[in-house]
Structure 1
Amino acid sequence: MVKSNIRKMLNMTERLSYKVLTPKQREKIKNSLTDKQKYYLKKILLSGKWQRSEVNQVKHRLYNLGFTERGLKELEELCNREDEPYLNRLARWELALWHANQYDKKHARMCLDLLTKVLDDEVDLNRKRQAAIMQAECYEILGEVDRAKQALAPFLKEEEQHPDVLLAAANLEDSVTERLKWANQALKLYGTSEVLLDLKKGKEPYDCLSSVGKKVSSSSAEAPKVSVIIPVYNAEDGVGTSLTSMLTQTWKNLEIVVVDDCSQDNTVEVVERYIKQDERVKLIKAKKNGGAYAARNLALQEVTGEFVTIHDADDWSHVEKIERQVRHLLENPDVVGNTSEQARATEDLKFYRRGKPGTYIFSNMSSFLFRREVVLEKLGYWDTVRFAADSEFIRRIKKIFGEKSIVALPTGPLSFQRQTATSLTGNSAFGYHGFKMGVRREYEEGHDYVHENSDQLYYSFPQKERPFAVPEPMWPEREEKVDGYRVFDVLIGHDFRLTDDSITAVIAEIEWLKQQQLKVGLMQLFQYEVSPDKKVNARIREILDGNLVQMVVYGEKIQCKQLIIKHPPSLEVWQKYLPEVKSEEVHVVVSKDDREQEKGQSFDIPTCEKHVDQYFGQKATWHPLNAESRSILSTESSSMDPRDWKVENIISESRANRDSK
């Protein structure tokens, strides 16, 4: 009874907030809270909601850890658990979202079926709106545009419309002009002037966008200068759109620095034409290709503006974007930096929802605008990696200046980020799809560990020594490969999140291999039962050096002499996010402790053997750690080494075999 009344009270509060507060006001309240305040507020409002926690755990395993098959199966089981209607609804929602994100007819039908059940007795206004947007997307995929429009119709009749619904409606129009009308309605909610379209032969609609600001700032030298850094690489087709949208900004005192990262097309020639047209445009040519953040840092050494911001090479931004952000910093001297919002748009102006339910508008990390001198003095430069360093830079600033030093402004979409098949964030292995996995998860854990354990958060440029090791796909200078494969002597597979007791033996072996001057790769194998929130053990973080000991990740191709799997329970449940591995030999080491896993679970050796074959294309030799382990293996594995495990034996035998050849 008490729980029911609390829920009713929360629902009433939510309804009132939607009637009394405008979207801007709600967003302002949200953005006035720190991340910690948001976390504790959710904890208070959702206290006792073990159902939400249970679904989130499965969701994390499904998306972030790559347990696709098991994660979907568990969500389906939670959908049907008896006498748990709230748990059922939460699980159905997550399952519906997963199907929606597949963007094909089969999964669209499955999503629609689940959403019908989800919406029974649903009172959450946000959830209803998000569900309607997902329904519209699914109906469009199925070619049922009229039904898609019907799904959105109730939300388009509301006195105060939601911008995400308007962008969803835009996607249902055949005409680019009609799509833009809906987008302009969304911009109007934020007091932003209209976007115009002047279609030209041979150009995509995206590259024909323009806008005219409502107000024009002073062009005198008294207005603070903003330095806009635009890193470019093979961007001849899009850089003109980016530069034009910057040169037409209402904030006129700009220094636009384009950094060419050794393009092999006509990018430089295009930029040079703009330099002739406007003296605010400058060009820096990198001596060697190092990625977007090395290019940014080259410019950051040279720029002179009081404020600095970034603009991606092929994106379009509204003319009011920079002025909105600069004025906020001028009015709030205690704020170090801010971001505006964006929506992803294809070249024919259809809006793309990246992972999140019913949401097209989100914060634009690349719009980050900050005070140059204080940031350079206290923090230095961006981390010199090839991607994903925006969030690291922002977290480092918050660590030094406090949570409220950076403000995410609720501006509405002031940038349309170009969505193409070749976009970096569209890369299946290294991209960002609304969740961190593989290399991005590893990078985030690595920089968070340094932020928490080091007082030295000043990053120099050029970076003579990295503050922490990162996987090779992020290196500015990529490694030489053999037919696309990176070469290691030994690759160790383990769940490196386990406790110190479990990790001690692995650390000892890594140290011995280092003494032999062998190059060691570490491959994270997740054990399903271990909490998905658990991070890589600190002792492993300390031993990673980016040289003799490196973490390898999903999307890489690895060739090695010895693949050693030290934690067979992490083989039992199939997982997606593993590198492609070719090894001369595969070894699996079993200890008695492996049979006494968390929650009292053991592992099935035949299943593990099957997964080894699927992952690595060959059968493994199984090694007992001691006599107790041998008794287990003798009855369950067909390929057992008669000796107790010692890494020294494997390495010496491998060397002897090579010498004999």
Structure 2
Amino acid sequence: MPPIDDPSDRDAVLRSNLRQLRRGRISNRAVVASVLRSGSREARHLLAFRAVNPHLPLEAIADAAADPAALNGHKIDVNWMAALARVHLLGNTSREDQLLGLRLFDLLLEHHPEHKIAKRDKEIHLQATGALGSRERAVELLERYADVHPEIAYAVRADLANPWTARGSEAAWLPGFDALFPAPAIRFTDDPAKAPFDRIAVDPLPAVDAAETIAVMVTCFKPDETILTAITSILGQTWRNLEVLLVDDGSGDEYSGLLERCAGLDPRVKVIRSPENRGTYHCRNLALDATDAPFVTTHDSDDWMHPRRLELQVAPLLADDALVGTGSDCVFTTDRLELNRVGRLHRSLCTAALLYRRERVLARLGYMDAVRKAADTEYFRRMVAAFGAAAFTHLEQNLTLVRTRSDSLSGGDFRAGWIHPARAVYRSSYEAWHRSIAAGDASPYLPRGERGPFYAPRQFRLAPPEPESYDVVFAADLTSTGTPRISFLNDLRACVSAGLKAGVMHLPTLRFADIRRQPLLGPVQDLLNAGRIAHVTLEDQVDIGLLVVRNPSAVQYPPDTVCKARISRVVLLAGSSPAAPFGELRYDPSTCEAFAERLFGRTPTWFCRNDAVQGALRFLGATSDRIAAEILPEVVLSAGPPRSGFRAALPVMGRFDFTEGHRSWPSDPAALADAYPSDLGVDVRFMGSLTVPLERLGRTRLPANWTRFGLDPAEVRSFLHQIDFFACFPQEDVASIPPAEVLEALAAGCVVLMPPRLRDAFGEGPVYCEPSEVLDVIAEFHADPQRFAEYSRKIQQATFERHGPADFAATLRRLARVLIPAH
């Protein structure tokens, strides 16, 4: 992390950012979730700022964790200290950080009784103590934290009694472990050379003889001896009419002996060889064609299958022909059968255990997506989209024991609260397709070996990723309202239309934290799925001519990593002042410069949307010689069709809910009522939330002449063509607003109404008036359709001339001329 020269500067930014989080009603849980997703170490300072009162820096809090007396005279905030501890324990952290997180939880418990600590925080504290702390402390917390989730308490107790890692005995430990699974009882073979996982055995059960065959697909690549555990557990099923389709994914001749040993275990094992390494799902597709069994399921090559799994899962399908598939749960454990997983439960839905009707699914869905990762989850969710959730049933029984390994296909892609960005993008991409399938607007069918009609990150593709280069990549929060959506989408589409090879990079913006992981912004997802842009992660080794950080807030709390792309030039694009209209800092320019340079390996240059932002950057500490003199104006892609008259008999006015939240509406109820009248002679339409104006008007329902639409960037142009007048009246002390929405309204030919104090920002295009004059201005225009049409035509033409996409794309070409060819 680059040094911060003056700690007071950091404190000012942290204090300001926290006020904005509170104003946005963003909880510390949402902040923690976003910090974990972003992997930001710098964000820990934000949590630390609230953890102790009076404020202590993170370094002092860390010292106090080792010497609690250092906190004399300070009060610990129970929720924010717990948040700080959770991030240290669960984030992309070192062993030292994890131990600090545990000490912070211990410090919290010293200052607050257990009933003050949230249940979710007790659970993390208990799990971390079981994994990192002393046995005695874990036993103490089990007594003090009596209300934690029973499965978490069980896992900690089990590991404390584990005969292979602790001082327990097998006889005392085994009944609890055995109770995780249905009968029969588990025992262990006497083979100390093997890991306990591979010594699991059960006494024989009566066979279930039936006519229906179940095919179990097992794929492997360079397997080890643990594959014998997996195959043996399948062959030990009570459901005897089965076949094991063991597909080797191009491991090489040196693995032939082990595969032959597997085949020699039972005639029901059939080995299939893929001549080259093409991934798990390519192999499963081969297996689907290699059998005519009516039912199929999968099993991972190092896991253990309960002997009754097939019997139990096929029973509902035999009893109800309307069912398409059944699922079950699994238990995660290590080779030594440790269960405690900090931040997660030891049991979960087992995606690999889906058992389904082969012919019905193949006829409707075809095959798994031709990618290397995550296609099993996509396939199941595609089934649900195509057949409906009622076609599947879930058995809440643990029927698979999953071996956890850090070097597995997915082991490095998941942490508590985090999944790899490429997986998140892949999920967002296929979910868009699945929604169309569920609505009946798209076919779910995929031929074997073909890709789905949605985006797959380069890491997921079957062929080794080729070196790639991009003319321009926009780094932004691609899910939140933090990035002005209309402005960002116009920039992106302008580059695509100009023939530039464009990409996007998701950088979460903490100012707009959310507990839940959100899908990508719909129009961005559409461009990805259509193949018009690509998604680039920080670890992709690609060439980028120009990287544009589309919202500097995205590097205020950056991920704790270094971008592996080869970047020619980095631009920080400032669309608005670093200071919000109410004087609080959205981001600190000098800090963003330092972090952008660390993250991307290039000294960044500031480009601004207008002169006022340039002045604000200089005033608030941006390096002067890094601020480009050239202005990069907002883009409008096209002027709307000329207007020949009004939309309806009544004048129609409207507006968007701007990103400033409560500051985007007049604070005076009378002014708000004037600006957006409830007069039945005017049709008033809005996009976005109306919570703030209704609260200020003291209303619980919309006035009869008001209509609200969801804030959908894809529908902005359509919305603007529904209205004649665009009314933009923010709170009385707000002197600037995001310009993109206003420019879109002007380009659509709307009469834009706004207060005179905004004249310096928008010039002569809008009509300036006070809220009390709105109805009079509307009446004047409505009485003279010719004047309205002439105004509309002129303002459309002027707006497009000043803000058309050609100059914008030409500027980006020039900035990245090292890699961007002339067109």
TM range (shorter): 0.7 to 0.9
User: 1:610 Cα shift?
Assistant: 1.2
Post-superposition shift, 1:615?
Answer: 0.6
Contact 1:519/1:547 (8 A) holds in 2? no
CA distance in 1, matches of 2:208, 2:509: 59
Q: 2:160 is matched with which residue?
A: 172
Q: What is residue 447 of structure 1 aligned with on the other side?
A: 430
Please say if residues 162 and 186 of structure 1, whose CA atoms lie closer than 8 Å, have aligned partners that are also in contact: no
Q: CA deviation at 1:117?
A: 6.4
Secondary structure of the equivalent of 2:419?
Answer: coil
Provide the residue aligned with 1:5 in structure 2: none
1:552 corresponds to: 536
Q: Which region of structure 1 is more displaced relative to structure 2, 397-406 or 161-170?
A: 161-170
- Look up the match of 2:221: 233
Per-residue CA deviation, residues 373-405 of structure 1 (Å, 9 max, x unaligned), is 222222222233222233322322222333343
Which segment drifts farther, 650-659 or 377-386?
Answer: 650-659
Q: Which of the two has higher C-alpha Rg?
A: 2
| Cα offset, 1:509, TM superposition | 4.5
**Conserved 8 A contact 2:82-2:104:** no
Aligned equivalents of 1:206 and 1:317: distance in 2? 12
Q: Which residue of 1 aligns with 2:349?
A: 363
**Which residue pairs with 1:111 in the alignment?**
105
- Return the alpha-carbon distance in structure 1 between the equivalents of residues 351 and 529 of structure 2: 29
Deviation at 1:243, TM superposition (A): 0.7
Whether contact under 8 Å (1:115, 1:131) holds in the other structure is: no
Give the match for residue 284 of structure 1. Answer: 272
Q: CA deviation at 1:242?
A: 1.0
Q: State how far apart, in whole Å, the 1-side matches of 2:151 and 2:239 are.
A: 26
Distance in 1 (alpha carbons) for counterparts of 2:390 and 2:105:
39
Q: In the alignment, residue 208 of structure 2 is paired with which amino acid?
A: S
Equivalent residue for 2:138?
148
- Please give the per-residue CA displacement for 1:335-387, whole angstroms capped at 9, x wherever unaligned: 3322222222222222241532xx32222111111222222222222233222
Find the residue that maps to 1:544 and give its secondary structure: helix
In structure 1, what is the Cα distance between the partners aligned to 2:417 and 2:611?
Answer: 47
Aligned-partner Cα distance in 2 for 1:598–1:408: 52
Contact 1:488 1:519 in 2 (8 A): yes
Structure 1: which amino acid aligns with 2:34? R
The answer to whether the aligner puts 1:302 opposite 2:290 as a matched pair is yes
User: Cα distance, 1:98 vs. partner?
Assistant: 4.3
How far, CA to CA, are the matches of 1:459 and 1:475 in structure 2? Answer: 19
> Which of 389, 395, 399 is 1:409 aligned to?
395
Equivalents in 2 of 1:565, 1:606: separation in Å?
A: 15
- Give the drift of 1:316: 1.7
2:648 aligned with 1:648, yes or no?
no
Shift of 1:536: 2.4
* Residue number in structure 2 paired with 1:420: 405
Q: Which moved more, 1:163-172 or 1:341-350?
A: 163-172
Contact 2:127–2:152 (CA under 8 A) maintained in structure 1: no
Quote the residue 2:281 is aligned against. 293
Evaluate the alpha carbon distance shift between residue 621 and residue 259 of structure 1 in structure 2; reply closer, same or farther with a 3 A threshold: same
**Alignment partner of 1:424: what SS?**
coil
Q: 1:325 to 1:567 in 2, by over 3 A?
A: same
Query: Contact 2:214 / 2:296 at 8 angstroms: preserved in 1?
Result: yes
Q: Could you list the runs of 5+ residues in structure 2 that have no partner in the other structure? A: 1-22, 56-75, 633-807
Q: For residues 51 and 146 of structure 1, what CA distance do their matches in structure 2 show?
A: 43
Cα–Cα, structure 1 residues 499 and 97, in superposed 2: closer, same or farther, change >3 Å?
Answer: closer
Cα distance in structure 2, aligned partners of 1:599 and 1:295 = 59
What's the CA shift for 1:267? 3.6
Tell me whether 1:472 sits opposite 2:451 in the alignment.
Answer: no
Structure 1 117/155 Cα, relative in aligned 2: closer, same or farther at 3 Å?
closer
Instruction: Return the match for 1:200 from 191, 200, 204.
Output: 191
CA contact (8 A) 2:332 2:339 kept: yes
Contact 1:589/1:624 (<8 A) preserved = yes
Q: Pick closer, same or farther for the CA change 1:477–1:602 going to 2, 3 Å.
A: same
What is the aligned partner in structure 2 of residue 628 from structure 1?
A: 612
Q: Post-superposition shift, 1:248?
A: 1.1
Deviation at 1:585, TM superposition (A): 1.5
* Aligned AA (1:520): A
Paired residue for 2:384? Answer: 398
> 1:530 touches 1:598 (CA, 8 Å); kept in 2?
no
Q: Letter of the 2:433 partner, please give it.
A: V
Equivalence for 1:312: 300
Q: Secondary structure at the match of 2:444?
A: coil
Matched-pair contact (CA < 8 Å) for 2:545–2:819: no
User: 1:176-234, CA deviations, whole angstroms, 9 ceiling, x for partnerless residues?
Assistant: 38358535424336542222222435432322222235x433235x2x21111111111
Q: Distance in 2 between matches of 1:108 and 1:658?
A: 50
Residue of structure 2 in register with 1:438 after alignment:
421
Other-structure match for 1:384: 370
Distance in 2 of aligned mates of 1:325 and 1:503? 47
Distance 1:112 1:528, change over 3 A: same
Conserved 8 A contact 1:493-1:523: yes
Corresponding residue number in structure 2 for 1:41: none
Is this contact kept in 2: 1:132–1:151, CA < 8 A? Answer: no
2: distance between equivalents of 1:249 and 1:444? Answer: 34
Does the 8 Å CA contact 1:52/1:90 hold for their aligned counterparts?
Answer: no
What is the Cα deviation at residue 311 of structure 1?
Answer: 0.5
CA shift at 1:609, angstroms?
0.6
Match status 1:497 vs 2:473 = no
Q: Which amino acid aligns with 1:58?
A: V
Rate the CA distance shift 1:487–1:131 in 2: closer, same or farther, 3 A. same
Where structure 1 has 5 or more consecutive residues not aligned to the other structure, the ranges are 1-49
**Contact 1:212/1:319, CA 8 A, preserved across alignment:** no
What does residue range 48-63 of structure 1 map to in structure 2 within 5 Å? 54-63=27-36
Which residue identity lines up with residue 400 of structure 2 in the other structure? S
Task: Tell me if structure 1 keeps the 8 A contact 2:152–2:340.
Answer: no
Residue 580 of structure 1 aligns to a residue in which SS?
A: coil
Distance 1:112 1:386, change over 3 A: farther
Q: 1:469 to 1:658 in 2, by over 3 A?
A: closer
Task: Measure, in 2, the Cα distance between the counterparts of 1:189 and 1:219.
Answer: 26
Q: Is the 8 A contact 2:163 2:170 kept in 1?
A: yes
Aligned partners of 2:819 and 2:295: how far apart in 1?
62
Give yes or no for the alignment of 1:261 onto 2:261: no
**Separation of aligned partners in 2, 1:121 and 1:657:** 60
Quote how far apart the aligned CAs of 1:122 are: 6.6
User: Is 1:252 the equivalent of 2:240?
Assistant: yes
Query: For residues 68-107 of structure 1, what are the structure 2 equivalents within 5 Å?
Result: 68-70=41-43, 73-74=46-47, 77=50, 95=84, 97-101=86-90, 104-107=98-101
- Aligned residue pair count: 588
Q: CA deviation at 1:100?
A: 4.7
> Structure 1 CA distance, aligned partners of 2:85 and 2:47?
14
What is the alpha-carbon distance in structure 2 between the residues aligned to residue 530 and residue 154 of structure 1? 36
CA distance in 2, matches of 1:598, 1:321: 61
Report the Cα offset of residue 256 of structure 1: 0.8
The alignment status of 1:121 with 2:115, answered yes or no, reads yes
Which digits, 9 at most, give the CA deviation of each residue in 1:513-562, with x for residues without a partner? 44665432211122222253554222111212585621112443333222
How many angstroms apart in 2 are the aligned matches of 1:656 and 1:155? Answer: 61
- Give the C-alpha shift of residue 440 in structure 1: 2.1
Helix, strand or coil at the partner of 1:385: coil
Cα distance in 1 for residues equivalent to 2:584 and 2:33: 22
Range with bigger deviation, 289-298 or 486-495: 486-495
**Cα offset for 1:565?**
2.0
- Specify the SS of the correspondent of 1:467: coil
Distance 1:334 1:598 in 2: 60
Native 8 Å contact 2:429 2:454 kept in 1: yes
Return the alpha-carbon distance in structure 1 between the equivalents of residues 49 and 379 of structure 2.
39
Shift of 1:473: 1.1
Q: Does the CA-based 8 Å contact 2:38-2:558 persist in structure 1?
A: no
Cα distance change, pair 88–308 in 1 and its aligned pair in 2 (3 A): farther
Compared with structure 1, are the counterparts of its residues 640 and 88 closer, same or farther at alpha carbon in structure 2 (3 Å cutoff)? Answer: closer
CA contact (8 A) 2:156 2:340 kept: no
> Are 1:219 and 2:209 counterparts?
yes
Q: Are residues 249 and 465 of structure 1, via their aligned partners in 2, closer, same or farther at CA, if it must alter by over 3 Å?
A: closer
Distance 1:135 1:643 in 2: 56
